[in-house]
Structure 1
Amino acid sequence: MNSTLLGSDTPLAEKYDLALVDLDGVAYRGHEPIEGAAPGIAGARACGMRMVFVTNNASREPESVAAQLTGLAIPTEASEVMTAAQAAAALLTRRLSPGQKVLVVGGAGLVTAVRAAGFEIVTSADDGPDAVVQGFAPELGWANLAEAAYAVERGAWFVASNLDLSLPTARGFAPGNGALVGAVQAATGVVPDSAGKPSPTMYRLAIERAGARSPLVVGDRLDTDLAGARAGDLPGLHVLTGVSRARDDILAVPSERPHYIGADLTSLLVPHEAPMPAGDGWWRCGDAAARVVNGALELDPGSSSDVEARVDLVRAACGAAWAAVDAGETLDPGTVPEIVVHNA
């Protein structure tokens, strides 16, 4: 799929039949709502777009996730949630047979998914597990990580639900599953297989479950959500409400570039203008323009300063920066400012 930004003359909710929506940083932040999430989802559903909420969080049951979303004015059924725990369990079935032993290091969601896949769950390396599967849970401690390390050292297959280094919360960014997996990896020297994003496994499972023909990935992280979209040859929308910011878009490597950029989930409800070359090195989107001259990014924000105009500036900057880099030019990151899209 083309590595440049795409345009759409119609709202994305009309162009695509299924949105694969990330949770943390997109639909909510910790236990707090994100502005634009509820009306964006409601409006998209009114256009006929279906939703599957796809999360790298493996600690919770789909029913719990659905209840949280519903409490945040985003009515959701458990069948509309796809977790990394479910993807990890599916990955285990590729090598193990039902009844084999799995040491689960994670929360209730991971335990349920592994048990539902037909495996015997054990709690100690001394039980001789055939695999160790590790997912995030806030209650995990040293003893859990040590047990995983003992089993991996003895030859158990090491599987991680995801490798996210950080986890967005209402108070800031906390260590994610990747940080905890890193402790086991450092102790054993064994690199785990990962079921979560940026692997496209969860996306493919969700698309198959929904029977979708034209899915769209929606996420806030370039290195997981959007990289997974690229890896799965799926179009991806980056919303600027979470981890990756506008400057990250401009500097993104081809394997992590989004196909669309929006302020929040209400960007599902509007057409998207693609940046286009406008002569003398300039790339234009709306009233905004950008170009790269001698390795330096130059910006012309235009006359408007509302949210959509600032997003247009990000799109124009991506058009100019990506074209320059893809042509073999060097872009000085020091010339790329942070473009603040949200006032808060």
Structure 2
Amino acid sequence: MARPTPLGDADVLLLDLDGVVYRGRSAVRHASEALEAVRGRGVPIGYITNNASRTAATVAEQLVGLGMPARPDDVVTSPQAAVRLLADRLPAGARILVVGGDGLRSVVLEAGFVLAESADDTPDAVVQGFSPDLGWKDLAEAAFALADPERLWVATNTDWTIPVDRGIAPGNGTLVSAVHAAVGRLPLVAGKPETPLFETAVERFGAQRPFFVGDRLDTDIRGANAAGMPSALVLTGIDGPKQVLAAGEPDRPTYLLADLRGLLEPYPEVRLRGDGVQVGKAVARVRGTALEVVRAGEPIDLLRAAAAAIWNSGVSVYALGVPDEVLRLTASLR
């Protein structure tokens, strides 16, 4: 009997973007062909992103340019999830101070809210999202408005970093932290790893059996686990073997995949073999203060076996010696 595939009987495939579908301005290798195969199975595809600086239409346009058919409605953004939080708590016509870019302002207006220009307009809420044009005056205005402890504060996301062409730059989390330091409280958060973004996506597609794929354990996978949906980590983005082996229970994916092609490939069984774990032909075990590779097998299967061995051992990876052949797997998997 053929083993089941990770995608299984999912009725929607939800994907993070950067590191899963594209990296910077280029498509991730094999992503387009894999998603075409998913569409061939009749499974809808949704893209969910914490990035609050771009509109859904802009994201869809980029995807189309990379050979991945997408409509704006296929893209679910953290500003959309943030507005959902506002709409659950405030009536239409409420006055919102937006600390962010045009992508955030546009969805606030589309939801029937009114834009406040400053704290002096006595807004009903503050919503904060990333924009590269934000400055001290914008953050100060948010702090002035939030001096009222009853005023609602929603953040699109709290990602500490954001990838840009020149490298890794401070993300919305750092800007939220600056306001937090001034006002002494924390916002409601819409984006990953919190669940509103996932819930907005499930509602958008009317899904009963969603499946999520991401490349970061502490945001993507933690969020999917919190939302109660199965997930896969692909090794084409941020997190690699070292992070996988160190993952705590809230951050452990249901599946580990080299790339998106693995969604439709039979997934090997994880088997306990004496004091070791076997996946495919790969066998790994924890013995004393070391992770031992008994048999290497395929690179992705070795990582799966090593991760299961460590996760089942109750021993932190930081207390173990780990062979270089496991830690250097990412390059061979891409």
* TM-score (norm: length of structure 2): 0.93
Query: Do residues 287 (structure 1) and 281 (structure 2) align?
Result: yes
| C-alpha distance 240-330 of structure 1, shift in aligned 2 (>3 A) | closer
How many residues of Structure 1 are paired with residues of Structure 2 in the alignment?
Answer: 328
Matches of 2:201 and 2:170 in 1, distance apart?
27
Please show how residues 100-119 of structure 1 align to structure 2 within 5 Å: 100-119=94-113
Q: Which residue of 2 aligns with 1:335?
A: 321
Query: Do residues 132 (structure 1) and 121 (structure 2) align?
Result: no
Please show how residues 155-170 of structure 1 align to structure 2 within 5 Å: 155=149, 156-170=151-165
Q: 1:310 aligns with which of 289, 299, 322?
A: 299
| C-alpha distance 245-126 of structure 1, shift in aligned 2 (>3 A) | same
TM-superposed CA distance for 1:10, in Å, is 3.1
Letter in 1 for 2:230: P
| C-alpha distance 54-301 of structure 1, shift in aligned 2 (>3 A) | farther
Q: CA RMSD in A?
A: 1.8
Query: Do residues 86 (structure 1) and 80 (structure 2) align?
Result: yes
TM-superposed CA distance for 1:62, in Å, is 0.8
Q: Which residue of 1 aligns with 2:187?
A: 192
Structure 1, residues 204-263: CA drift from partner, whole Å, max 9, x if none? 221222122221111011111101111011101101112221221111111111000111
| C-alpha distance 109-330 of structure 1, shift in aligned 2 (>3 A) | closer
- Is 214-223 or 268-277 further displaced after alignment? 268-277
TM-superposed CA distance for 1:284, in Å, is 0.8
Q: Which residue of 2 aligns with 1:24?
A: 18
Q: Unmatched 5+ residue regions in structure 1? A: 1-7
Q: Which residue of 2 aligns with 1:5?
A: none
Residue identity (%): 43
> Highest relative contact order (Cα 8 Å, sep 6+), 1 or 2?
1
Q: Unmatched 5+ residue regions in structure 2? A: none
Matches of 1:301 and 1:34 in 2, distance apart?
30
Matches of 1:139 and 1:274 in 2, distance apart?
49
Letter in 2 for 1:254: E
| SS of residue paired to 1:111 | helix
Q: Which residue of 1 aligns with 2:241?
A: 246
TM-superposed CA distance for 1:335, in Å, is 2.0
TM-superposed CA distance for 1:29, in Å, is 1.8
Matches of 2:317 and 2:49 in 1, distance apart?
33
Q: Which residue of 2 aligns with 1:152?
A: 146
TM-superposed CA distance for 1:83, in Å, is 0.3
Letter in 2 for 1:260: Y
Letter in 1 for 2:58: S
| C-alpha distance 301-162 of structure 1, shift in aligned 2 (>3 A) | farther
Matches of 2:290 and 2:320 in 1, distance apart?
8
| SS of residue paired to 1:12 | coil
* TM-score (norm: length of structure 1): 0.90
